[in-house]
Structure 1
Amino acid sequence: MSSELLPIENYVPHRSAMLLLDRLLAADEESAIAEVTVPRDGLFMHDAGMPSWVGIEYMAQTVAAWAGWRALQTGRAVQIGFLLGSRRYETAQPFFAPGTRLTISVRCELLGDNGLSMFDCRIEADGAKELATARISVFEPVDGNAYIPPSPATGQCSVP
């Protein structure tokens, strides 16, 4: 796995409150590992903590970081992609506790020429306890902006 990594913003198109990951820890041709410390406030947060269903988005953003890392390795631009769905999302608890350091691991199981891919994903807490697993399907089209309507204010496509 790679050791020289850029800040997460270089690998994913997400910005502001929708960028949920803190950093990309490792990436190679088949997998990636990212990290997030569960925030104490902000988007999606409840009194009991971060709902564990947000884990699917943590997984999807780790896949996005993997795809962005791969693109930059070959001199291509980072593209937007789409989470199509998940299979067998299982979680050990209903919420992730604020302050918990989560490690998200994704491994590509299928990478189609048509932009469709499937990943095996895992979330662990503080490097040891497995909290969630899933298989997710994603789509990375050649031109993702063609799937996003232009903003009425600017006339340009924008991803939050």
Structure 2
Amino acid sequence: MTIFPFGACPVPALEFIPHRPPMALVKSLERAYGEGCIICTVIPAGTMFIREDATVEPLVLLEIIAQACAVYGGWRTKDDSQGKQAAFLAGVSSFEIVGKAVADEPMEITVTLLREFAGFHLFNGELRQGGYDVARASLKAYQPAATTTRLET
């Protein structure tokens, strides 16, 4: 079941994360539910993230998945009166590139929360483009208690 307590879908990803252009790589939260979400983005040609052959730099794919995890964390803890709650990438246990992502084409990132304990969250993320798998990652993020760290926007 899709749950969006904060308005119409899709929702701009910037509502949930502290990143700002040009480092905000994810564009929209398409669907969110208890154990994960689906994020969409497009990386434009001519940016620093694109190689001469029009493919996305491989490590940028990991950053896109990490930002998708941050969007999910922001969605779960959104409280307009308190600002955006900071979340930090704490580790990557696996990262696999299984295809190429290209500029100017939509990408879909699916994030699944596997486990959470003491502020730590374990995620699996999958990035697809044009119906094909491009990258997968298993990440750990840390999100301090809501009363300790907030980012103002």
TM-score band w.r.t. shorter chain: 0.7 to 0.9
CA distance in 2, matches of 1:28, 1:125: 22
Q: Stretches of 4+ moved more than 4 A in 1?
A: 73-76
Distance 1:74 1:13, change over 3 A: closer
CA distance in 2, matches of 1:121, 1:56: 9
Pair 1:134-2:122 in alignment: no
CA distance in 2, matches of 1:38, 1:9: 15
**In the alignment, is the contact (CA less than 8 A) between 2:74 and 2:84 conserved in 1?**
yes
CA distance in 2, matches of 1:11, 1:39: 22
TM-score by length of 2: 0.83
Instruction: Give, in angstroms, the shift of residue 74 of structure 1.
Output: 9.3
**Structure 2 runs not aligned, ≥5 long:** none
**In the alignment, is the contact (CA less than 8 A) between 1:37 and 1:102 conserved in 2?**
yes
- Within a 5 Å distance, the mapping from 1:65-144 to structure 2 comes to 65-72=71-78, 77-93=83-99, 95-112=100-117, 114-126=118-130, 128-142=131-145, 143-144=148-149
CA distance in 1, matches of 2:90, 2:84: 19
CA distance in 2, matches of 1:105, 1:111: 18
Instruction: Give, in angstroms, the shift of residue 75 of structure 1.
Output: 6.9
| Deviation readout 1:97-156 (Å, 9 max, x if unpaired) | 1122110000000111x2111001101112x211111111111123346xxxxxxxxxxx
Q: Which amino acid aligns with 2:84?
A: V
**In the alignment, is the contact (CA less than 8 A) between 1:71 and 1:77 conserved in 2?**
no
More helix by proportion, 1 or 2?
1
TM-score by length of 1: 0.80
Match of 1:47 among 43, 47, 52: 52
Distance 1:27 1:76, change over 3 A: farther
Instruction: Give, in angstroms, the shift of residue 43 of structure 1.
Output: 3.1
Match of 1:58 among 64, 69, 72: 64
Distance 1:60 1:144, change over 3 A: farther
Q: Please, what is the CA RMSD of the aligned residues?
A: 2.4
SS in 2 for 1:62: helix
| Deviation readout 1:41-100 (Å, 9 max, x if unpaired) | 22332213211221111111111111111112797642111112212211123x421122
**Structure 1 runs not aligned, ≥5 long:** 146-156
